[in-house]
């Protein structure tokens, strides 16, 4: 599953290509194209059309989902969430959202996301920009995703409003 704006920096094209290689895979995507992304200069329409003809792509073009039941359906339909962001050093709300559904993630091995995934043991990290390693770890995650479910939920709990409130209270009282 892919959740978010479709742009080159987030690896949307990589996921379409991966789905085309894996005949038993369905690509679930929620987001919309990001035409302002200057790196999004390639055409993925032929690949999308081929997957549509095979019934192996489900895309919803929307920036926000107004119905929580629909978001639940999307996350519950996927065994894990792929976040192949190129050269990305920050974090991702989708990573925390995936964890809240008990979904492991596959991310690049750098930056804050890579660190969170390794430390929390909530999925796997591939070598940044290494599509062969991404594919290899994708196949491993297909077989091992259930092993990460409980850790993903524990990780997500650390981002709950209760935990954030407790952390802020400790900071305000001078102890962190």
Which residue, chain included where needed, has tokens 């962001």?
85
DSSP string of 74-87? HHHH-S-EEE--TT
Residue with the larger pLDDT of the pair 92 and 132: 132
Confidence of residue 56 (pLDDT cuts 50, 70, 90): very high
Q: What percent of the chain has pLDDT over 90?
A: 44
Q: Which domains does the chain have, with CATH numbers?
A: 2-172 (3.40.50.2000)
Q: How many CA within 13 A on the CB side of residue 25?
A: 22
Q: What is the mean pLDDT of the chain?
A: 86
Q: Phi/psi of residue 27, each to 5°? A: -95, 115
pTM over 0.95: no
What mean pLDDT do residues 107-131 have? 95
What mean pLDDT do residues 102-119 have? 95
| pLDDT for the residue 61 | 76
């Amino acid at each position: 599953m892919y959740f978010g704006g479709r742009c080159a920096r987030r690896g949307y094209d990589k996921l379409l290509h991966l789905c085309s290689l894996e005949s038993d895979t369905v690509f679930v995507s929620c987001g919309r194209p990001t035409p302002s992304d200057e790196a999004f200069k390639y055409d993925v329409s032929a690949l999308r059309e081929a997957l549509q003809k095979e019934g192996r792509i489900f895309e919803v073009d929307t920036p926000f989902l107004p119905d929580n039941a629909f978001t639940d359906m999307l996350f519950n339909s996927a065994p894990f969430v792929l976040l192949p962001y190129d050269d990305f050093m920050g974090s991702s709300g989708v990573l925390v959202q995936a964890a809240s559904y008990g979904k492991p993630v596959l991310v690049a091995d750098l930056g804050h996301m890579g660190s969170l995934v390794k430390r929390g043991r909530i999925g796997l990290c591939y070598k940044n920009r290494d599509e062969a390693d991404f594919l290899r770890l994708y196949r491993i995650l297909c077989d091992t995703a259930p092993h990460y479910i409980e850790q993903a939920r524990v990780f997500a709990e650390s981002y709950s409003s209760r935990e954030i409130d407790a952390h802020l209270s400790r900071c305000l009282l001078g102890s962190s």
